[in-house]
Structure 1
Amino acid sequence: MIPAGTPVVVTTVDALSSHESPGRPFKTKLASDLKAGGKTVLPAGTVILGVVENSRSAMVKTTTNRLTVNLRSVSMNGREVPIKTTGPLGPDTLSALTPRQKITGVSAGKSVLPRGTNLEFVLAEPLNL
């Protein structure tokens, strides 16, 4: 078991923008080994699927385009294990954002998370593998 509160850093395999439809799945890979109790539970490169939870397309008449994403499942041995996370907050994401974007999430204009972006999520519930 990996306890709630454990950081999960992933690298996006797919690029995402604020024009995505809510519910759209996207693929990430674990950026580094995920450890619990000093042991590697999930190795770097493990596929973790995410989902676009909220977005605003350019057709919406607003000054901001918000993009909210979260992780949905871990691919293990040919099966999908559900995962609940909060986030993302990440060194790559936050350094590229303006102060306004840091406050409101990924927003302001057309938000883009390019392929290869590192995102840090936090487990909201323990992950039982």
Structure 2
Amino acid sequence: MDWGKGITLTLVAFAAIMISMVVICVKQDDIHLVSQNYYEEEIKYQEQIDKVANTVALGREVLAFDGQLKKVDLNLPVGAKGVLHLFRPSDARLDQKIDFEITDPAAQSVNVADLKPGYWRLKLSWSENGVDYYEEKKITI
């Protein structure tokens, strides 16, 4: 084999590898952004900081996870309402949002035994007495 054929085979092999890599990358369908509306959330970030400051000022733990019973306890007063976002960073298809309104002080827990095992973030945003709050907790099921 002479130099011309060797160079030609090398370039053809390189082109075939590059084309196959492009095809593989284009066919991937499990690419998830952390958030679909990232830029809108970034603009509202100061509001989020204020909500976190309000939560810290409460001086109590609002969101508690019991790993053995696989439940999340919400320590909120009657009349509080909001959203509990069960956020899975590795797969957005597993995310869940649970709307709630506390009417019974005894029933303030959410069963998470049905969630896929792994790393989760619990994002709790609620309002009580006209003040907005936010707390986030990282858990492993």
Fold equivalence (TM over 0.5): no
| Structure with greater contact order relative to length (CA < 8 Å, sep ≥ 6) | 1
TM-score using structure 1 length: 0.28
TM-score using structure 2 length: 0.27
Q: Which is higher, the Rg of structure 1 or of structure 2?
A: 2
Structure showing the higher helix proportion among its residues? 2
Structure showing the higher strand proportion among its residues? 1
